[in-house]
Structure 1
Amino acid sequence: MPQKLKVAVAQARTGPSLPATLSALEQITHHAASQGVSLLLFPEAYLGGYPRTCDFGTAVGARAPHGREQFLRYFQDAVDLGDTPAGAGDDWVERKLPVAKGSDRRGDGTREFLEKVSRETGVFISTGVIEKAGGTLYCSVLYVDPTAGVLGKRRKVMPTASERLIWGQGSPSSLKAVTTVLNGVKLTIAAAICWENFMPLLRQSLYSQNVNIYLAPTADSRDTWLPLMRTVAGEGRTFVLSSNQCVRYRELPSWITEHAAQEGNALEGDQYICRGGSSIVGPLGDVLAGPVWETCVDDAIESSRSGEVSSKDGLLVHEIDLEDCERGKFDMDVAGSYSRNDAFKLTVAGLDLNPPPF
């Protein structure tokens, strides 16, 4: 029997504040639910923001005072999910960590808000988050189920290039896949964040868990990104959902653009600094939806309020049949029959690479 499910990726941009972005996420999720979507992916760093073009006043061996002020603003915009700096894993997921006297929760309430939106819409939400724990920021991905709430969270294990200046490294143990059942369809879901997808052993750690929904939230808007997503899908015989932001320079936070203007380094306001490129790819590497460029679902929702409905709104929706993953493994299963696991071994610190149970 076909195991069909509607999935979507939202090409959305971070708003001017965390409350504004959460409000947009809620509207977009309701918009997706109205189209029958059961699973929805938002971009890397969607909550908290990706500080594109900002150098935080740094050079090798030197840091300028204005860069510390920029980091302070970025830190203040980040999300407190109530986790520990080391990452408490299942104890955090299952709410076993202590709370402050007189409080009924840890964190700033973002987790609870996302669980509410997921529950009310019936949509499984995965979103990129800039997460603060202690004094460190992490680039994370959150999995929110409409029935069970948060199923898991993982932190980027290898921030890319200058991201290493502002984000800490996550634990490889957080590469653990999550399982759920949506509309009677069994799903094993995991995420690789942006250039983690260029790490062959990290990809293999996800394939080994038999994922059939592979999430790839990203900040990479180059033309070379889609071929990588097609490779991942065909390699892992999995559906790949990739979501990126679409951002003009004037839509960046003021603490980035105002300093650049003072230094005479500002770009033109309407210039795209990230063109998007979100897509959905099937288990044989075939492109099912996208890539979509220079359009944003936020703009489409604003247009619809004024009576104009865009036919290309930055929300990519596609119905998939999860049995296509098993059809694809007829001739290649890189974690099973095709792996030569008698000759090649992969271990990941703190992570069970066996497919998780339902």
Structure 2
Amino acid sequence: MPKKITVAVAQARTLSTLELTLASLKQTTQHAASKGVHILLFPEAYLGGYPRTCDFGTAVGARAPHGRDQFLEYFRAAVDLGDTPAGAGDDWVERKLPVAQGRDHRGDGTREFLERVSRETGVFIATGLIERAGGELVLLRATNADLELLEKTGSERLVWAQGSPSTLKAITTELNGVKLTIAAAICWESFMPLLRQSLYSQNVNIYLAPTADGRDTWLPLMRTVGFEGRTFVLTCNQCVRYNELPSWITEQGKTTEDRYISRGGSCIVGPMGEVVAEPIWEVSTDDAADGSSIESGLVISEIDLEDCERGRLDMDVAGSYSRDAFRLTVDGLDLDPPPF
């Protein structure tokens, strides 16, 4: 019997405030739910923003004062999920961390908002966000059934801190009666063969790959991931014009330049490396204030998870096709597939 679910990626862009971006996320998720979507992926750093073109006033051996003001603005725009700087893992997921006197939750309420939207729509939400934890900013992906934390990283070490390997652990869930093992790699982490292998070893059948990379080299990589891991790949990027960046980047909003600095390229790839849903360009779910552009900024496809199992007849890079001479271990990460 086919194991079918409907998946989607949202080619969205970060709006001027967290409140507006969350409202757009909710509207897009509601629309996706009306289309029967079970999993919806939003882009890298969607909540908090990806500071394209910003150098934070840095040069080798020098720091300009305006860069510190830019970092302050970026820090303020980040999300507080109530986690600890090192990542509290299961204690955070299970809400075992202490809560301040007089409050019923940790953080700024974003976690609770995402959980509520997911619960009300029945959609499993995965979104990139910039987390503020202590004095650090961490680029991460929070995934929402019970808002399991999939991954934290920080590839651009100038403004983002480094995440723990333990957060590369895949998670399991069941949607539409289909059991899923989901993992994520942020942007160029998918260019790292050993990191990809660590996810394949956990028997993933949904590989989430939000990115900030819209170059021609990205789609071939995603096709490689799908074929290599015998997994479905969901990837999405923001579609942004220069004048849509925060005013603290664009000289206090004085520019009227409307060139694209990110054209998108969001798509879905199958477990034989085939492009299930072609990339879309120069369109965003947020292009129209009345929500009329949501449809054109969504990439939706019904997929059959049994295709992953069919594909492993002749390729299983973490199992039958791997030579006994090779063993991958990752400090702080259990590579055994997570239990259902």
Sort the TM-score into its range (normalised by shorter chain).
over 0.9
Q: Distance in 2 between matches of 1:198 and 1:45?
A: 18
Amino acid at match of 1:353: L
| Corresponding residue for residue 262 of structure 2 | 274
Q: Distance in 2 between matches of 1:333 and 1:301?
A: 46
Cα deviation for residue 290 of structure 1 reads 2.0
Q: Distance in 1 between matches of 2:9 and 2:291?
A: 19
Contact 1:299 1:313 (C-alpha < 8 Å) held by counterparts: no
Residue 75 (structure 2) pairs with residue 75 (structure 1):
yes
Q: Distance in 2 between matches of 1:290 and 1:334?
A: 26
| Corresponding residue for residue 96 of structure 2 | 96
Residue 233 (structure 2) pairs with residue 240 (structure 1):
yes
Cα distance, 1:61–1:192 mapped onto 2, change above 3 Å: same
| Corresponding residue for residue 25 of structure 1 | 25
- Using the size of structure 1 for normalisation, the TM-score is 0.93
| Corresponding residue for residue 9 of structure 1 | 9
Q: Distance in 2 between matches of 1:56 and 1:296?
A: 27
5 Å-filtered alignment, 1:128-277, equals 128-145=128-145, 149-156=146-153, 158-159=154-155, 163-258=156-251, 269-277=257-265
Long gaps (5+) in structure 1: none
Q: Distance in 1 between matches of 2:88 and 2:95?
A: 10
Residue aligned with 2:249, SS = helix
Contact 2:206 2:231 (C-alpha < 8 Å) held by counterparts: yes
Amino acid at match of 1:355: P
| Corresponding residue for residue 339 of structure 2 | 357
Long gaps (5+) in structure 2: none
Residue 68 (structure 2) pairs with residue 41 (structure 1):
no
Contact 2:168 2:184 (C-alpha < 8 Å) held by counterparts: yes
Amino acid at match of 2:326: F
Contact 2:150 2:183 (C-alpha < 8 Å) held by counterparts: no
Amino acid at match of 1:128: G
Deviations 1:15-49 (A, max 9, x none): 10000000000000001001000000000000000
Residue aligned with 1:299, SS = coil
Q: Which consecutive segments of 4 or more residues in structure 1 shift more than 6 A? A: none
Cα deviation for residue 302 of structure 1 reads 2.9
Cα distance, 1:29–1:258 mapped onto 2, change above 3 Å: same
| Corresponding residue for residue 122 of structure 2 | 122
Q: Distance in 2 between matches of 1:334 and 1:354?
A: 14
Cα deviation for residue 11 of structure 1 reads 0.2
Residue aligned with 2:157, SS = helix
Cα distance, 1:83–1:303 mapped onto 2, change above 3 Å: closer
Cα deviation for residue 259 of structure 1 reads 5.5
Residue aligned with 2:325, SS = coil
Residue aligned with 1:140, SS = strand
| Corresponding residue for residue 332 of structure 1 | 315
Residue aligned with 1:143, SS = strand
Contact 1:300 1:313 (C-alpha < 8 Å) held by counterparts: no
Residue aligned with 2:83, SS = coil
Q: Distance in 2 between matches of 1:300 and 1:210?
A: 40
Q: Distance in 2 between matches of 1:104 and 1:226?
A: 44
Residue aligned with 1:45, SS = coil
| Corresponding residue for residue 346 of structure 1 | 328
Cα deviation for residue 300 of structure 1 reads 5.4
Deviations 1:51-80 (A, max 9, x none): 000000000111011000000000000000
| Corresponding residue for residue 58 of structure 1 | 58
Q: Distance in 2 between matches of 1:127 and 1:105?
A: 21
Deviations 1:51-110 (A, max 9, x none): 000000000111011000000000000000111111111111111111111111110000
RMSD: 1.3
Identity rate, percent: 74
Q: Distance in 2 between matches of 1:39 and 1:303?
A: 20
Q: Distance in 1 between matches of 2:297 and 2:128?
A: 17
Cα distance, 1:349–1:338 mapped onto 2, change above 3 Å: same
Contact 2:247 2:253 (C-alpha < 8 Å) held by counterparts: no
Q: Distance in 2 between matches of 1:314 and 1:298?
A: 8
Cα deviation for residue 215 of structure 1 reads 0.2
Contact 1:300 1:314 (C-alpha < 8 Å) held by counterparts: no
Contact 2:243 2:253 (C-alpha < 8 Å) held by counterparts: no
Cα distance, 1:132–1:2 mapped onto 2, change above 3 Å: same
Residue aligned with 1:127, SS = strand
Q: Distance in 1 between matches of 2:5 and 2:252?
A: 46
Residue aligned with 2:233, SS = strand
